[in-house]
Structure 1
Amino acid sequence: MKLSLKVEYALRVLAQLGRYHGSTKLAHIEDLAEAEEVPSNYLVQILNELRNGGVINSRRGKQGGYALAKEPEGISLFDVMMVIDPGLFSNSPSRAGQSGPLVAESLNKIGAAFEARAKEISIRDLMPRDAGPMYYI
């Protein structure tokens, strides 16, 4: 299985945003980019897609930044993947040929299992257990 780097970056940054959840402090793009080693210019695009998809909220200005729109356990990998790469779960294999129907059925089963598992895993599951203290300046 090969997921796009964009999906991976989105999940990593959301795990980082999960660490901020519940605090009044919003995460700044520079801090997120540094913590997760994601290029900040690419991160801007990803964060915009997540905001437009309702996964995160943002606020402009000096006190601005980013925050999860819901509790970390309320955002599944499936939710994120549908925002970042909606075609990932669309599977319509050809039923052509003698083996086509059985191949299509098998691939559909794999796709359904992947989708079900992606719905079970939340951002909370991706958050580092012991990432060290967070310092607020």
Structure 2
Amino acid sequence: MSLNEKSALAMGILSIVVLGWFASMIVPPVIAGGGAPGPAELPLILGSVLFIIASIVIQAVLRGFSPKDAARGEDDRDMMIMYKAGAYAGSFFGFVVVWGLFQYATTGNADAMFATCLIGLLAATAASFALQVAFYRMAH
């Protein structure tokens, strides 16, 4: 397993954990009929800072265990895999944003639109990393 594949796997797992954390704060109030919590009610700054710190630690550990792979960098195959995964994930996120805008246009609830877009962004990020791992596996 290449360093880039390990990195995508680790970042995908981290993204799924963050997605689950935020979804656990957003989805239950919506299901209970209380509506989506507003941005001020979510620990967005804390979640973002923790995600960044965890990402840095994960990348440092992976590169520390694979210094030769880290020095090599990305080749054309790696770039193609990242671009392809990003294109699919970006298309998904675009759909979610349009859905969120439709929600806002029909209900006038900006909190629901924000929650939809936030969960969509986190899901697209996790999907991008999952697709990278899948594309690496298919390439072998």
Give the structure with the larger strand fraction: 1
Greater relative CO, 1 or 2 (CA 8 Å, sep 6+): 2
TM-score, normalization by structure 2: 0.29
TM-score, normalization by structure 1: 0.30
Give the structure with the larger helix fraction: 2
